[in-house]
């Protein structure tokens, strides 16, 4: 149906182990750097490379689905680098580079392949301006889709749970977490915010700039902040999604006009020690035989801070889709903060639905997440202070 | 404003006290010399910008990076120095920064944390003397905490990693901040052997032993960072 473009570098098992060793060594080196960035002044000119490194252990029967003799336990890692440059108060550039071993994401656990993948999720340049209660941002490059709300929390430090909501992911998902080339305009005025994005491909099937399957399309979204801490939003997208490789040449012209349509609503709430988020989405994928595949996804998420070092979070999600079995997921996670830069998440995912027996698709996972400010260099450094000692 | 008034009163007392109290107690006077800029300028960038209501324009001028004296607290440690009356201080969240960067209070004091921004902050600390998480609360609201153990409490915001401040909880009333020229005075100190502590937000602790005698003023200068050749008193 939908073939996602996997912008990945696949390697052998030896390369996987070598990559793991290099990454762990690099992480250890970076961790030894003095953590001075907490005590510094913000600058408008400079470069920064924040890194979020995650080590993970997964235990699930999914890992034995293809080969019952394989281990139900899998170690994994994910490192996300955010190289960024600020060129004054308005201009900026930013990229998101993800290196991860497979299976890391829960959707990857059905396949036992051990690889290391490198993905450039975002690479964009932008201009932002803000005035009194109004602002706008213009971005161009490869970026996350403007559809939906979860991609804004797509970092293991920001995501309170281990897995992602069911409609998001990399493989056969209605909303891919790969970036899409395009341009985006964001604006906000008082309590309203809006965004408009033009891209070369659908959120469900991102394509590179040299792909034969590019189709211009749009995504829009907007929101209203009812009061501080409570915002509701809507978003939509529409455009061709079919990959040229999936249809015969004779059908190509027709397939190029088949649209995928998505509409969604989202809500975020926070007060005191509680925070909640939720989304409901409907997708329609038109097909060559004049039929359409319709899918409904949704989730609700709650987090409570129990102590300064401890939180608990839960996410309840569902999928209702033509031609595919329904699924309900419940994920519970406890997060522990050993210190400001590190987070340990321990979670369990229950997956239930048609054709699922017992706990065969459940996942127990542990994540160790650490934030590293490997580089943060301002172009305009403050001058040194030097006072004369008083005469003796 | 309340905190500023208290601070002014405290500074005035510190300036006047040496003249009237040296006859029955000692004093420590000196100057801090900061030999290099300790507070780096850096860039923070969030690749995932939160959606929501428009934020007010941030002030063009940031805090001076070379104002290292504002990031220093000076206090005395030692036996026989009793606790002082607690204060009420304030650590504001304004323009996505903590104001001021450092709050110096005696043990038992209370700090209020008003949110003056139209966005949420999530103020927390994992420092040993006091761990806390204030959660989310809107503009115009405040939270208060009492600090019953001396020490340095590093304060951050979960949502804005560039925000950081420190609350210096001193064990007694003998604490001060350097003036604009780096000079400082601790007065009305009972005679005895103590440890003078200078703490800089980036450079950390600098301690020296000092003996205060009745009716005398001890001169003590600090270089931050301390040079290896710096003589110990």
Domains of chain B, CATH where assigned: 1-48+58-81+175-233 (2.60.40.1120), 83-171 (2.60.40.420)
Give per-residue pLDDT as tens, A213-250: 899 999 999 999 999 999 999 999 999 999 888 888 88
Q: Verify whether the Cβ–Cβ distance B54 to A130 is below 8 Å.
A: yes
The structural domains of chain A, ordered by start, are 2-387 (2.40.160.10)
Alpha carbon of residue A274 to chain centroid: 22
- Is the pLDDT reported for residue A21 higher than 70? no
The pLDDT of A44-69, averaged and rounded, is 92
CA closest to A96 among chain B residues: B47
CA closest to A382 among chain B residues: B65
Prediction ipTM score:
0.79
Pairing state of beta strands A192-199 and A217-227?
antiparallel
- Most B CBs within 10 Å, among A36, A39, A229, A374, to test the B interface: A39
- Is the pLDDT reported for residue A389 higher than 80? no
Interchain CB contact of B154 with A (< 8 Å): yes
Q: How many angstroms separate the CA atoms of A111 and A133, rounded?
A: 49
- pLDDT level of residue A381 (50, 70, 90 thresholds): very low
CB-CB neighbors (< 8 A) of B98 in chain A: none
Does pTM surpass 0.90? no
DSSP-assigned states of every residue in chain B = -HHHHHHHHHHHHHHHHHHHHTTTSEEEEEEEEE-S--SEEE----SSPPPSSPPPPPPSSPPPTT-GGGGEEEEEE-TT-------EEE-EEETTEEESSEEEEETT-EEE--B-SSS--EEEEEETTEEEEEEE--TT---EEE--S-EEEEEEESS-TT-EEEEEEESSS-EE---TTSEEEEEEEPSEEEEEEEEETTTEEEEEEEEE-TT-EEE--EEESPPTTPPP-
- Is the pLDDT reported for residue A9 higher than 50? no
CA closest to A306 among chain B residues: B133
pLDDT averaged over every residue in chain A: 86
Q: Are A286 and A241 in contact (CB under 8 A)?
A: no
Give per-residue pLDDT as tens, B149-181: 999 999 999 988 889 999 999 999 999 999 988
Nearest to A40 among B39, B56, B131 (CB): B39
What's the pLDDT score for residue B80? 83
> A137-170: b or e for each residue (b if 16 or more CB lie within 10 Å)?
bebebbbbbbbbbbbbbbbbbebbbbbbbbbbbb
Give per-residue pLDDT as tens, A108-137: 998 878 899 999 999 999 999 988 888 999
Cis status, amide bond into B100, omega within 30 of 0: yes
Contacts of A310 (CB under 8 A, 6+ apart): A334, A335, A336, A337
Taking CA atoms, A268 is separated from A18, A131, A221, A225, A232, in Å, by 42, 25, 15, 9, 7
- Is the pLDDT reported for residue A290 higher than 90? no
- Is the pLDDT reported for residue A17 higher than 60? no
- Is the pLDDT reported for residue A339 higher than 80? yes
- Is the pLDDT reported for residue A267 higher than 80? yes
What's the pLDDT score for residue B143? 97
What's the pLDDT score for residue A7? 35
DSSP-assigned states of every residue in A122-178 = EEEEEEEEEETTEEEEEEEEEE--SSSSGGGG-STTT-SSSS--TTEESSS-SEESS
What's the pLDDT score for residue A24? 52
Residues in chain B with pLDDT values less than 50: 1-23, 61-62, 65, 228-233
What's the pLDDT score for residue B14? 47
Q: How far is B28 from chain A (nearest CA, A)?
A: 14
What's the pLDDT score for residue B227? 52
- Most A CBs within 10 Å, among B29, B37, B38, B47, to test the A interface: B47
What's the pLDDT score for residue A351? 96
């Amino acid at each position: 149906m939908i073939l996602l473009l996997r912008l990945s570098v696949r390697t052998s098992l030896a390369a996987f182990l070598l990559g793991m060793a290099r990454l762990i060594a690099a992480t250890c080196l970076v961790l030894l750097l003095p953590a001075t960035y907490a005590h510094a002044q913000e600058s408008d000119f400079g470069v920064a490379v924040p890194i979020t490194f995650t080590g993970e252990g997964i235990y699930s029967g999914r890992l034995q689905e293809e080969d019952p003799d394989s281990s139900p336990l899998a170690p994994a890692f994910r490192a996300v680098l955010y190289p960024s440059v600020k060129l004054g108060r308005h201009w900026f550039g930013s990229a998101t580079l993800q290196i991860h071993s497979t299976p890391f994401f829960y959707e990857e656990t059905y396949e036992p392949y051990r690889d290391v993948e490198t993905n450039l999720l975002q690479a964009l340049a932008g201009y932002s301006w803000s005035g009194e209660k109004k602002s706008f941002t213009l971005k161009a490059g490869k970026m996350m889709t403007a559809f939906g709300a979860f991609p804004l929390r797509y970092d293991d430090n920001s995501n309170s749970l281990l897995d992602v909501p069911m409609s998001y992911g990399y493989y056969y998902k209605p909303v891919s977490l790969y970036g899409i080339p395009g341009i985006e305009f964001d604006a906000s005025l008082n309590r309203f915010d809006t965004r408009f994005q033009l891209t070369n491909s659908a959120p469900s099937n991102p394509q590179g700039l040299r792909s034969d399957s590019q189709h211009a399309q749009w995504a829009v979204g907007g929101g209203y902040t009812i009061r501080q801490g409570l915002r509701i939003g809507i978003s939509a997208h529409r455009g061709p999604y079919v990959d040229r490789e999936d249809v015969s040449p004779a059908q190509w012209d027709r397939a190029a006009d088949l649209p995928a349509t998505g509409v969604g609503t989202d809500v975020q709430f926070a007060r005191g020690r509680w925070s909640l988020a939720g989304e409901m989405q409907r997708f329609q994928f038109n097909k060559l035989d004049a039929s359409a595949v319709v899918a409904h996804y949704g989730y609700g998420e709650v987090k409570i801070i129990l102590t300064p070092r401890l939180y608990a979070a839960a996410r309840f999600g569902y999928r209702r889709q033509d031609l595919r079995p329904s699924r309900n997921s419940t994920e519970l996670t406890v997060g522990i903060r050993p210190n400001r830069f590190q987070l340990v998440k321990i979670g369990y995912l229950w997956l239930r639905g048609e054709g699922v027996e017992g706990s065969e698709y459940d996942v127990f996972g542990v994540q160790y997440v650490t934030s590293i400010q490997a580089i943060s260099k301002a172009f305009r450094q403050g001058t040194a202070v030097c006072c004369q000692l008083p005469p003796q | 404003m309340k905190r500023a008034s208290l601070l002014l009163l405290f500074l005035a007392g510190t300036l006047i006290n040496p003249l009237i109290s040296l006859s029955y107690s000692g004093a420590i006077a000196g100057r801090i010399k900061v030999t290099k800029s300790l507070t780096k300028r850096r860039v923070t960038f969030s690749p995932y910008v939160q959606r929501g209501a428009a934020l007010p324009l941030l002030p063009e001028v940031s805090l001076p990076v070379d104002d290292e004296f504002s990031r220093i607290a000076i206090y005395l440690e030692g036996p026989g120095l009793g606790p002082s009356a607690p204060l009420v201080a304030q650590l504001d969240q304004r323009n996505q920064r903590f104001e001021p960067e450092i709050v110096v209070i005696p043990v038992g004091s209370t700090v209020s944390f008003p949110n003056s921004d139209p966005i949420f902050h999530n103020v927390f600390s994992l420092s040993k003397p006091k761990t806390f998480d204030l959660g989310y609360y809107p503009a115009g609201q405040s939270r208060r905490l009492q600090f019953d153990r001396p020490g340095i409490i590093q304060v951050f915001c979960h949502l804005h990693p560039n925000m950081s401040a420190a609350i210096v909880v001193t064990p007694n009333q003998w604490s001060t901040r350097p003036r604009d020229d780096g000079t400082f005075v601790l007065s009305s100190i009972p005679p005895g052997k103590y440890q003078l502590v200078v703490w800089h937000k980036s450079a950390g602790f600098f301690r020296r032993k000092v003996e205060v005698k009745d009716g005398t003023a001890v001169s003590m200068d600090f270089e931050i960072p301390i040079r290896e050749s710096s003589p110990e008193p």
